[in-house]
Structure 1
Amino acid sequence: MANRSGSADLPLHGGRVPAWLGQRMARLGAVMSEAIVHHYGRDELLRRLAHPFWFQSFGAVMGMDWHSSGITTSVIGALKRGLEPLAGELGIRVCGGRGRHSRSTPAELVAAGEKAGFDGAALARSSRLVAKVDSAAVQDGFDLYLHGFIVADDGKWTVVQQGMNGDRGTARRYHWLSEGLESFVDAPHAAIEGRRQGEIVNLADRRAAKARDAQLELLAILGPDGLAREAAAMERGATGAPSAEPMLPHLVMPDHHDVRSGDVILRRLQGTLAAAADAGPKDFPELLLVPGVGARTLRSLAMVAEVIHGAPCRFADPARFSLAHGGKDRHPFPVPTKVYDKTISVLKTAVEQAKLGRDEKLRAIRRLDEQAKRLEAHVSGPSLEAVLAEERLRSNDYGGRSIFGWEPVAGAADAA
């Protein structure tokens, strides 16, 4: 049985992803997905996408706002664009999206089923049920506006959908995984992300089975009008409160944009820096023979490698992964486009060679992650503030860019 695995508070942010970043997100998301499928198979990619902490870290390493609701929309959109050309090869298809795209999900599933050979009509029904459960059976004050349905050619699937509460300025993300799913109305979620904000009516909880049965019985006896009268009378005379759900692990995403020391597990960051700066030049010739790859690119590759290979416990601090490629709003620093492009290039080359049976580069990237984990237990290094200061100082060298434009040469603005 699939159960809730955690929750997170996601500040609700507007705005759009600029084209220069959206194109890179699609390319990086696609090649990382290819690497995961190559190492672990399609089922594991679906499991990762159904894990709320991993999903947030995945978006952060892509250069999106590390803590906001925008990660959900941008990651689903990037995967849809990036994986579409690879659908026949990988056997993974992304349907739906935000707004009007979410409403086209059933038709897209039927069309995908005709191409891949699975029952698209049955999955279209599943899509509608998933949306109905999180919009009607779970009454938590969040209105759904995004529905992403990721399906493999064998019919297994993951759903990531999100609702908003405009009055509170927050979003809640819901994760579903078909693996082990036995019922759409009996504790079906892989995870629900969002801050606890008062009482919630959750008829999809397994403890609500008797309540669901009783509702059907009352509807047959009293009819809709009679039920409305009884509900009004109960509301006037209610004195008790429903019992609370058991506490689950949850990720609280703060309101502040800047990445602070409390947002990052420093020893893990220092292990990554050490693997890139110290071990990299000696131990990873397969990567360093690629022109333009130095310690800065290796740092990004090490973080990408952890998202590909890391265990669930490694993603308690999604902010750390924003240090791979920054963020479009200059938090924690402008997106280093030269580093981003080199990361994609190295990873793409490694995946393409692995398809031909030459997996030296892909194994070298995996060793970056292994080396970082070994080093973090005993290395020391710069503070988070020092890392961010150096990154901002060299932003122009790295092709730093944000929604505010290209980063000037350090000191140029002051001189002007």
Structure 2
Amino acid sequence: MPHHPMGRVGHADLRLCSGPVPHYREIVQLGGALVEYMVDELGTAETLRKFSDPIWFEAMASAMGFEWQFSGATTVTLRAVSEALRGKEESVGIWIVGGKGEKAKTKDALPEELREPDAVTTKVDSALVQDGYSIYFHAVAYDEKMRWAVINQGMNVEEKLARRYHWSWEGGGYLNDVEEIAGRKESAVLDLQARASERARETILDVVKDEPPKRIVYKILSLRKRPGQKTLADYGLGGCIKVEYMPFQFRIPKKVNEEALRIAKDAENFVDLIKTPGMGPATVRGLAFLASLVYGAPVSWKDPVKYTYAFGTKAGKPWMVERKRMLEAAEFLRSAVEESRLGEKTKKAALRRLSSIVTRSS
């Protein structure tokens, strides 16, 4: 199987929303027209790069009728584009698979070459980056040369927020710090994929390969039994974090998957380790505590966010710090709408929405 270098290039935080989407048929038509124009003008590789860019994706979702802060900007946009391309994938050159629930299980729908990056990107977002969001939406866009973009979306039920994660086939590897992440900055996130966590990853791999699984489980669970020491904050490693409710990523797990540790003994590297069946968030978190508290290997607790939404404009709407890129995206999409064969009503509505992006980004 060929190696597929990759990088997670961004994520965005969004408000959870529910209910039917008005004018869904128009959204499907518009989404299809935008993607076909992008492929005609830019080619499939550059179109996939746009899907993996949070700002470009945000602009496209806005053009299709979604405010920046709603979770439907991800789920409905991708569903609509996928529906628009159905039956035309070969002629357009882009395939999109995935969705919510059962549709998020993309393995059988993907070519063999894409199954590993598909699985590992989602495992990184769910187990290595523990930020309080549970992945509930997963989609993959790809072309015939097996270039791809992955978009995951996680849900924080407590705060009624969703967070979007973008990946690309290009550069960086599975474990890196090359993200262009957008959204609300969390006070602390367990980030084992960060470069700052490299020694912790090495320690975890050594421990799993060298020590009996039963002993590893005992060591992790023993950390819970120390009087008054249940979280990183109690060990003095997170004392600056003030919370009324202790998020799960600060808790030493009550259960660790011993069988997963046994299977992972054969792992050649850290990516192999996290691909192990049963190596879920709780077991990974337990290993992170073990590496940090027992073996002294530092773990990153910094949210890997690189740009945020800023508030305070006259209209009370947010604008993104990366205004130049948003303007470029909006102007390109304006051309796409104007040159499309869409009805005048649909065109005018999309152009009006794109104008609002330009106004608040200027």
Select 1:209's aligned residue among 173, 179, 198: 198
1:229 matched to 2:221: yes
Identify which of 246, 260, 271 aligns with 2:315. 260
Q: 2:58 aligns with which of 48, 56, 59?
A: 56
* 1-structure distance, mates of 2:146, 2:25: 28
- 1:11 paired with 2:15, answer yes
CA deviation map 1:283-310 (0-9, x unaligned): xxxxxxxxxxxxxxxxxxx996533679
> Which residues in structure 2 correspond to 1:397-408 (within 5 Å)?
none
Q: 1:159 aligns with which of 137, 141, 150?
A: 150
Q: Secondary structure at the match of 1:172?
A: strand
Deviations 1:137-168 (A, max 9, x none): 11111000000100111000000110000101
More off after superposition, 55-64 vs 155-164: 55-64
- In the TM superposition, what is the alpha-carbon distance from 1:235 to its structure 2 partner? 4.1
Determine if contact 1:161/1:175 at 8 Å carries over to the other structure.
yes
TM-score normalized by structure 2? 0.65
CA contact (8 A) 1:150 1:157 kept: yes
Number of the residue aligned with 2:107: 106
Which structure 1 segments of 5+ residues have no match?
Answer: 110-119, 273-301, 311-320, 325-336, 348-368, 377-382, 385-416
Q: After TM superposition, give the deviation of residue 243 of structure 1 in Å.
A: 5.7
Q: Which amino acid aligns with 1:173?
A: R
Taking a change above 3 Å as real, the CA distance of residues 303 and 260 of structure 1, as seen in their structure-2 partners, is farther
Is the 2:189–2:302 contact (alpha carbons within 8 Å) kept by the matching residues of 1? no
Q: CA RMSD for the aligned pairs?
A: 3.8
SS in 2 for 1:122: helix
CA distance in 2, matches of 1:192, 1:248: 5
Q: What's the CA shift for 1:207?
A: 2.4
What secondary structure sits across from 2:86 in the alignment? Answer: helix
| Residues 96, 148 of structure 1: 8 Å contact kept | yes
Deviation (angstroms), 1:203: 1.2
Question: Does the 8 Å contact 1:3/1:191 carry over to 2?
Answer: no
**1:45/1:12 Cα in 2 relative to 1: closer, same or farther (>3 Å)?**
same
CA separation of 1:228 and 1:87: change in aligned 2, threshold 3 A: same
Q: Where in structure 2 are the equivalents of 1:287-302 lying within 5 Å?
A: none
Aligned residues, how many? 275
Is the 8 Å Cα contact of residues 309 and 319 (structure 2) preserved in structure 1?
A: no
- Secondary structure class of the residue paired with 2:158: coil
Aligned partners of 2:13 and 2:182 also within 8 Å: yes
**1:86 alignment counterpart:** 88
- The answer to whether residue 171 in structure 2 is matched with residue 180 in structure 1 is yes
* Equivalent in the alignment of 2:333: 307
| Residue 342 of structure 2 is aligned to residue 340 of structure 1 | no
Q: Hey, what's the Cα distance between the residues in 1 that align with 2:128 and 2:301?
A: 17
CA distance in 2 between partners of 1:226 and 1:201 (Å): 22
Q: Is the 8 A contact 2:134 2:155 kept in 1?
A: yes
Quote how far apart the aligned CAs of 1:5 are.
Answer: 5.0
Deviation per residue, 1:41-83 (Å, 9 max, x gap): 1111111111112111111111123421111001110111011
Opposite residue 339 of structure 1, the aligned amino acid is K
Q: Equivalences for 1:309-324 in 2 at 5 Å?
A: none
Say if 1:217 and 1:210 are closer, same or farther in 2 by CA, change over 3 A: same
Aligned position for 1:394: none
Q: 1:22–1:199: structure 2 CA closer, same or farther, 3 Å change rule?
A: same
> Does the CA contact (< 8 Å) of 1:53 and 1:251 recur in 2?
no
Please state how far the C-alpha of 1:132 moved relative to its aligned partner. 1.0
CA distance in 1, matches of 2:9, 2:126: 19
Partners of 2:128 and 2:53 lie apart in 1 by 22
Q: CA–CA distance in 1 between the matches of 2:329 and 2:116?
A: 38
- Residue 263 of structure 1 deviates from its aligned partner by 3.9
Opposite residue 306 of structure 1, the aligned amino acid is: F
Higher helix share: 1
The alpha carbon displacement at 1:222 in A equals: 5.0
- Paired with 1:122 and 1:179, the residues of 2 have a C-alpha distance of 15
Aligned AA (2:35):
S
Corresponding position of 1:279: none
Q: Which residue of 2 aligns with 1:141?
A: 132
Letter in 2 for 1:250: Y
> Is 1:197 paired with 2:194?
no
Q: TM-score, normalised by structure 1?
A: 0.57
SS for the counterpart of 1:159 is strand
